[in-house]
Amino acid sequence: MTKKVWGGRFKESINELVDAFNSSIGFDRRLYAQDIEGSIAHCRMLAKQEIISEEEASLIISALADIKREMERDESPVDEDSEDVHTLIEKALVDKVGRLGEKIHTGRSRNDQVALDLRIYVREAIYRADNLTKNLQKVLVEQAEKNIDLILPGYTHLQPAQPVLLAHHLLAYFEMFKRDRQRLKDSLARVNILPLGSAALAGTTFDLDREMVAKELGFDAISDNSMDAVSDRDFVLEYIFTCSVLMMHLSRLSEELIIWSSREFGFITLPDAFCTGSSIMPQKKNPDVLELVRGKTGRVYGDLMALLTTMKALPLAYNKDMQEDKEVLFDTVDTVEKCLTVMSLLLNEVSFNGENMQRAAEKGHIMATDLADYLVTKGMTFRKAHETVGEIVLFAIDSKKSLKELTLEEFKGFAGQITKDVFDWLEPASAIARRNLHGATGSEMVKQSIERAKKEVAS
């Protein structure tokens, strides 16, 4: 068994089961690029501060670059005896440059080292999630623009409520993902803080230039409290929380697409390439991809709750419990990126069935609110109009008719103000055209929304 970096204090070797239980190399190896990037910056700073020589720094940095290339090509052997990615890389460095490699750890601890690695990793994950979410927004805008004339029922309580443009409906999700991107970007202010220099918990006796390291690594600020810096995982929690909200929006979109693809709705046709069949029912075309996105939302919620629970009672400063941050973080990153990618591809291939949508928008009593507004234009108060239209709807239900199928005489039986222009008023397209105010479903307003959205995703 490889000698531990902390082994000097101990008389006995660690129990093999405990060693395996304690190890994180099986999952934190993916932090190798961030760890090496941080080590190179730390090494340059040590040379600048004359803690090590320029020649020593050059040899160390060259060896670290070689190790990174080897690990990228998966040529570096997996050292199962290394506790974590930090000791794995340090051992590989010592193998290349001898005991000189041991100088790389001067002035730092694995506590501030892992905090640094995680901050770089989360920062990169935020950039990727932002780009993938922007790609999904682009698809939504493209579909909205392509299908600008399609009308469908808008729903509340999953009951037909009022006619809306499909484009307006799709752009509602654009707005949700816009907020997700804002949250991702806002969180960078709390992610992009350099913890290196905090050492184990109290700082270090070496005269480190923390500002230099921050500049080298693209950090906006340095941490103000060493104990907080090594024990803070708020930035991981915030990232997973933001991803949880993002996944909730993906789940809502998935749910609607699943419903719309059902025979009962028939609003969309899902691409075959994103569906599966049944092992027993030959006719089935199942929206498995959308169901998986919906299901994986709960998985990300679980990651958030797991880390919140881990952190809830930890005293300052670092505790080994915090090793549990990585698996949930990595799981969230992988899950969100896969879901965003597959959703963009699927949505780009969805076909919208305009005729079915139009028929649904003309059925029943979806124009009841507009009929009440019509009566208001004829001089009736809205409360009276609401009551009158309720009575008309009840009459239509008993008569097994839609509002448009009622005769003018039947309308007049409830309100003498109604004239033949009511039938034009009750057309769904007419209802759309009347809603021309900012944020509403009116055609001109939606076209303006599309143009704004296109500019946002192009910037």
What is the pLDDT at residue 2? 59
Among left, alpha and beta (phi > 0; psi -120 to 50; other), residue 160 is beta
Per-residue pLDDT tens over the stretch 166-200: 999 999 999 999 999 999 999 999 999 999 999 99
**CATH code given to domain 116-198+227-358:** 1.20.200.10
CATH 1.10.275.10 is right for the domain spanning 15-106: yes
**Is the per-residue pLDDT at 202 higher than 60?**
yes
Mean of the per-residue pLDDT values of the chain? 94
**Is the per-residue pLDDT at 12 higher than 90?**
no
Report the candidate in 196, 27, 25 with the shortest Cα–Cα distance to residue 104. Answer: 196
**Is the per-residue pLDDT at 81 higher than 90?**
no
- Is 438 a residue of the active site? no
Pick among 1.20.120.1760, 3.40.630.30, 1.10.1740.10, 1.10.40.30: CATH of 360-447: 1.10.40.30
Tell me how far apart the alpha carbons of residues 27 and 330 are, in angstroms, rounded to a whole number.
9
Of 72-86, 338-352, 400-414, the range with the lowest mean pLDDT is 72-86
Average pLDDT over residues 218-239: 98
The partner residues of 222 in beta bridges, in order of sequence, read 194
- Is 157 a residue of the active site? yes
Please give the full DSSP string across 245-289, using - where no structure is assigned: HHHHHHHHHHHHHHHHHSTTT--EE--GGG-B--SS-TT--B-HH
**Is the per-residue pLDDT at 369 higher than 60?**
yes
Tell me how far apart the alpha carbons of residues 67 and 56 are, in angstroms, rounded to a whole number.
17
Report the candidate in 117, 326, 324 with the shortest Cα–Cα distance to residue 230. Answer: 117
* Of 58, 62, 278, 399, catalytic: 278
Of 16-25, 153-162, 217-226, 241-250, the range with the lowest mean pLDDT is 16-25
**Is the per-residue pLDDT at 355 higher than 80?**
yes
CA torsion angle for 140, 141, 144, 145 (degrees, to 10)? -150
Please give the full DSSP string across 111-177, using - where no structure is assigned: HHHHHHHHHHHHHHHHHHHHHHHHHHHHHHHHHHHHTTT-EEEEEETTEEEEEEEHHHHHHHHHHHH
Tell me how far apart the alpha carbons of residues 133 and 179 are, in angstroms, rounded to a whole number.
10
Q: Which residue has the tokens 């299901």?
A: 295
* Of 157, 279, 438, 459, catalytic: 157
Q: Where in the chain is the domain with CATH 1.10.40.30?
A: 360-447
Per-residue pLDDT tens over the stretch 298-318: 999 999 999 999 999 999 999
Residue 240 half-sphere exposure toward CB, CA atoms < 13 A: 25
For residues 206 and 49, is the Cβ–Cβ distance under 8 A? Answer: yes
Report the candidate in 251, 229, 345 with the shortest Cα–Cα distance to residue 296. Answer: 251
**Is the per-residue pLDDT at 28 higher than 90?**
no
Label residue 26 by pLDDT band (50, 70, 90). Answer: confident
What is the pLDDT at residue 11? 67
For residues 162 and 440, is the Cβ–Cβ distance under 8 A? Answer: no
Percent of the chain with pLDDT over 90: 90
Report the candidate in 379, 387, 422, 380 with the shortest Cα–Cα distance to residue 404. Answer: 422
Label residue 345 by pLDDT band (50, 70, 90). Answer: very high
The partner residues of 286 in beta bridges, in order of sequence, read 276
Please report, for residues 70, 73, 91, 105, the alpha-carbon distance to residue 77 in angstroms, rounded to integers and kept in the order given. 9, 11, 11, 22
Global pTM reads: 0.94
Q: Where in the chain is the domain with CATH 1.20.200.10?
A: 116-198+227-358
**Top-confidence residue, 20 or 454:** 454
**Top-confidence residue, 289 or 8:** 289
What is the pLDDT at residue 83? 86
**Is the per-residue pLDDT at 1 higher than 60?**
no
Could you give the 3-state DSSP secondary structure of residue 194?
strand
**Top-confidence residue, 292 or 9:** 292
Among left, alpha and beta (phi > 0; psi -120 to 50; other), residue 230 is alpha
Q: Say if strands 268-269 and 351-352 run parallel, antiparallel, or are unpaired.
A: antiparallel
Label residue 78 by pLDDT band (50, 70, 90). Answer: low
What is the pLDDT at residue 459? 85
Q: Where in the chain is the domain with CATH 1.10.275.10?
A: 15-106
